Amino acid sequence: MSTDLFQSKQTCLKNRKKLNLKLQGRNTVTMEWKNLDKTDAFIQLRHTDTIFNPADDLTAERVNSWKVSAAAGMTFYYGASMLTETDLDRLQALADEQDLIAKYRAVLNGERINTGEDRRVLHQLTRGQLGEDVVENGVNLRSFYEEQNIRIRDFSGKVHSGIIKGSTGKAFDTVVQIGIGGSDLGPRALYLALRQTQSPKMKAFFVSNVDPDDAADVISLINPETTL
């Protein structure tokens, strides 16, 4: 191992130890989830003696009753999952034991649950207001995200119509999405889900790896003049 690489690894380890110490010293940080398998409800769930048999248990009554109304008029049916009534009761007990509803409400109400970066988690505000108003520096963040959605819609419309062009004056026909983790998975999932039913206006490629080979593969397939 080279000296530079060794020193780099040592620096990473030191920083990780500092971060762990910092997090452990904060009252808001709990590591209860690491001991999830020790909770009473989880132990009962692991030792369940009920078995779901689709041939006998997947009845019309079960399908019609095991459902939840979702957004946009959709319904989530979970009757075909390998769960029994006993399993559901124990999962409910586990959620109650871990105070899951209160923790979810903390997300919706904009509490700073990202303790590592001391940040809120506000993905849901791009879709709608489900909790209390989240205000920062006098700005209602739901209104902020609504404005950003309008800006995105306006920008993409101008790209599709050819109003916004590349530096050489050619219209864009390809877009490359660069992102890792959630910045990749969300846009990629949406693109894959909709491309079979929508008339594609542009080709899309995704770069989600810091390894240069990933980007090189995509670059070999595109025309930079017409790529956003």
Each domain of the chain, given as residue ranges in start order, spans 31-98, 165-226
Strand partners, 77: 67
Q: What is the distance of C-alpha 225 from the center of its chain?
A: 32
Average pLDDT, the chain: 82
pLDDT tens digit string along 129-143? 888 899 888 989 999
pLDDT tens digit string along 94-140? 889 889 999 999 999 999 999 899 999 898 888 888 888 998 889 89
Nearest residue to 85 (alpha-carbon basis) of 56, 53, 50, 59? 50
Q: Give the β-pairing of 135-136 and 203-207.
A: unpaired
Widest CA span in the chain: 68
pLDDT tens digit string along 147-174? 999 999 999 999 999 999 999 999 999 9
CATH H-level, domain 165-226: superfamily: Glucose-6-phosphate isomerase like protein; domain 1 (3.40.50.10490)
SS3 letters for the chain? CCHHHHHHHHHHHHHHHHHHHHHHCCCCCCCHHHHHHHCHHHHHHHCCCCCCCHHHHCCHHHHHHCEEECHHHCEEECCCCCCCHHHHHHHHHHHHHCCHHHHHHHHHCCCCCECCCCECCCHHHHCCCCCCCCEECCEEHHHHHHHHHHHHHHHHHHHHHCCCECCCCCECCEEEEECCCHHHHHHHHHHHHHCCCCCCCCEEEEECCCCHHHHHHHHCCCCHHHEC
pTM equals 0.60
pLDDT at 83: 82
Nearest residue to 32 (alpha-carbon basis) of 100, 131, 127, 101? 100
pLDDT at 58: 81
Residue with tokens 């989240």: 134
From the CA atom positions of the chain, what is the Rg in Å? 24
pLDDT at 28: 41
- Dihedral of CA atoms 43, 40, 67, 129 in degrees, nearest 10, equals -130
